[in-house]
Amino acid sequence: MAAIRGLIFDKDGTLFDFRATWGGWARRVVGELSEGSAERAAALSRELGFDLDTGDFQPDSPVIAHTPREIAEIIRPLLPGKDPAILTERLNLAAAETEMVETVPLAPLFHTFSALGLRVGLATNDSEHAAKLHLMRGGIDRYFGFVAGFDSGHGAKPDPGQLLAFALSQGLKAEEIAMVGDSRHDLVAAKAAGMRGVAVLTGIARAPELAPHADAVLPDIGHLPAWISTVR
């Protein structure tokens, strides 16, 4: 087993708390697109797998792992006449402006990764533009040598294209990299890329769902340095 030299992270539910962050996004999207119609707001919420009253998401919510383009296609039947490209851009804009809530204090943790000599990347099904804004607002963008969104030309998870592009860009072998994420999409992508898959429990999915697909299951990314020290 090779030592870990690189980490590629999912973003939402991994670096940033999913419910706290994307609940606000869902409320904004539903509010804007419903245009004052309570019936349409309820229908949009159902399609997004989001409870407007509790702020919680269903385990199969498309917001968890789908791309903005895919989410736009899912809700477009409720919005007659909406151009899918314009709708996707509207979802991207709402994502870019969303306030991100850290799962753990990120700046000191990523300083630790840097001190350990680890190469760091991001693979998200959000847009690349939104991802870079979120990293910048989190004060950790300088640690990332690679950032890919669904629109960066490498495909989207669960396909492994983003992960393989990270390995190539950093001159690393797949077995030297761990993919860290909160969903099955992340872990399936890791396996397809030949990388270790590390699950964290700061998203919607729980350990019983993730464990069969993961090399390790951690409470949050703050436990990564200790885990990395055990991998030889």
pLDDT digits (tens, 9 = 90+) for 93-107: 888 888 889 999 999
* 22 and 11 belong to one structural domain: no
Domain at 116, CATH number: 3.40.50.1000
Which CA distances in Å does 154 have to 1, 204, 215?
A: 27, 25, 24
Question: Are 224 and 188 found together in one domain?
Answer: yes
Are 222 and 135 within one domain?
yes
When pLDDT is averaged across residues 69-73 and rounded to a whole number, the result is: 93
Q: Is 185 found in the same domain as 116?
A: yes
Mean pLDDT of 188-204: 97
Is 113 in the same domain as 46?
A: no
- What Å distances lie between residue 48 and 57, 79, 100, 109, CA to CA? 8, 14, 19, 32
Q: Tell me whether residue 1 is in a domain.
A: no
pLDDT band at 5; cut points 50, 70, 90: very high
Tell me: do 135 and 169 sit in the same domain. yes
Residue 52 falls inside a structural domain: yes
**Is the pLDDT score of 187 beyond 80?**
yes
Q: 49 and 61 in contact (C-beta within 8 Å)?
A: yes
- Backbone angles phi and psi of 121, in degrees to 5: -140, 170
Evaluate whether residue 34 is within a structural domain.
yes
Inform me whether the pLDDT recorded for 190 exceeds 70: yes
- In the chain, the percentage of residues whose pLDDT exceeds 90 is 83
**Which of residues 100 and 162 earns the better pLDDT score?**
162
Q: What is the reported pLDDT for 1?
A: 67
| Same domain, residue pair 69 and 135 | no
Number of domains in the chain: 2
Q: What are phi and psi of 53, to 5 degrees?
A: -75, -45
Task: For residue 84, give its domain range.
Answer: 18-96
In a domain, 110, yes or no: yes
Q: Give the model confidence (pLDDT) of 112-151 as tens digits.
A: 999 999 999 999 999 999 999 999 999 999 999 999 999 9
Residues 34 and 135 in one domain: no
For residues 107 and 201, membership in a common domain is answered with yes
Q: What percent of the chain has pLDDT over 70?
A: 99
Residue 115 lies in a domain: yes
Choosing from 96, 118, 148, the residue where a domain stops is 96
The residues near 203 (Cβ < 8 Å, ≥ 6 apart) are 12, 13, 14, 18, 64, 181, 182, 183
85 and 123 in a single domain? The answer is: no
pTM of the model: 0.85
Task: Copy the structure tokens of residue 84.
Answer: 């899918």
- Same domain for 30 and 12, yes or no, is no
**DSSP three-state, residue 227:** helix
Coil, strand or helix: which one is 122?
A: strand
Q: Is residue 136 part of a domain?
A: yes
Indicate the residue among 63, 78, 96 that finishes a domain: 96
Tell me: do 178 and 217 sit in the same domain: yes
Last residue of a domain, one of 96, 130, 159: 96
